[in-house]
Structures are given as structure tokens and as C-alpha cells.
Amino acid sequence: MLELLELLEKDSRLTTEEMAIRLGISKEDLEKQIKEYEEQGVIVGYTTMINWEKTEKENVTALIEAKVTPQRLEGFDRVAERIYKFPEVTNCYLMSGGFDLMVIIEGRTLKEVAMFVAHKLAPLESVLSTSTHFVLKKYKEKGRIFSKGETDEREAIFL
């Protein structure tokens, strides 16, 4: 039931009654399906998206491209597991193209992120190289627009 998963992904605050009505099924059947998805690992958690720029919390997000050596008989999985277990890592993806893994981390400062790369990520035996990119501003994430209605306050200069 992909429609259920799509509803949950878009807005996990919907009540089971609201979702059942939208999907045209009973509340009991819906709850049973959700429980099955949780047990199967299809649904792995429920989260809230926060626009941290509108709070007092200092937060830096970095996207790190990593070239790694795959491990014998385990490919990239073992290397990725070592990396994604670090608490700073929010996302870790196997990629095609010029690098192998995309590692997304969050820290309080640029220096904290740099120290993670220098002292935890780069020294790993399988990591051949890294390239770090800092997120300067989030415009859209997971389909949600972060900066609606903001306008450029600079004055136009005409020559």
C-alpha cells in the first residue's frame, strides 16, 4: 500500500482516522498495515523537519564526498557502517560517479566539522580521499520549502 507510505512521508501528523478516510479503508486495517511496515523495517522512524535558521541553535551541515576502498567480500557496506555509526553522521549514501560515499554530517561550527573529517573520517583505513562542501543555506529539503516569501533587500544599482 504505497499510498499509505506516501501519506506518512508527507505528513506523519495525520491521525489514523484521517489516513483511513483518505485511503478508503478501516482504521483497524490501517493500524495493522502500519504495524506490519514497522516490524518489516519499511517504516524506520518518524521525524519532524526543523528550520534551524529560525532558532538560536548554531548548526553547520556538510556534505562530504569520500573515495573509499571496498572491503573484500563485503564491498562498501562495512566501510559505510563504520562511517554511519559516528553520531555526527546524519546520512550516508553509496553513490555512482566520481566518489563512492556521500556522507552528510552536522556540527555546531565549521571547525567542529573540519575536526570530524581530519580526526575521524579521513584516518579510516579504507578512506582514500574526501572533499567537504558546507551548506550555506537550505532552500528546499524533502519537498519542503524553507525560505518562502523572503525577498532580496539590496538596492538595485543602475549604470
Domain segments of the chain: what residues? Answer: 2-40, 52-136
Q: Is residue 159 scored above 80 in pLDDT?
A: no
pLDDT for position 100: 97
Residue 154 pLDDT level (bands cut at 50, 70, 90): low
- Per-residue pLDDT of 121-150, as tens digits, reads 999 999 999 999 999 998 988 888 887 765
Cα separation, 108 vs 60, in Å, equals 6
C-alpha grid cell for residue 136? 550555506
Given a cut of 80, is residue 10 above it in pLDDT?
A: yes
Mean pLDDT, residues 23-36: 95
Average confidence score pLDDT of the chain: 91
Third-level CATH fold of 52-136: Alpha-Beta Plaits (3.30.70)
In this prediction, residue 151 has a pLDDT band, given cuts at 50, 70 and 90, of low
CA atoms of 46 and 33, how far apart (whole Å): 16
Helices 16-23, 27-40: axis angle to 10 degrees equals 100
Q: Name the CATH code of domain 2-40 (choices 2.40.10, 3.30.1490, 3.30.160, 1.10.10).
A: 1.10.10
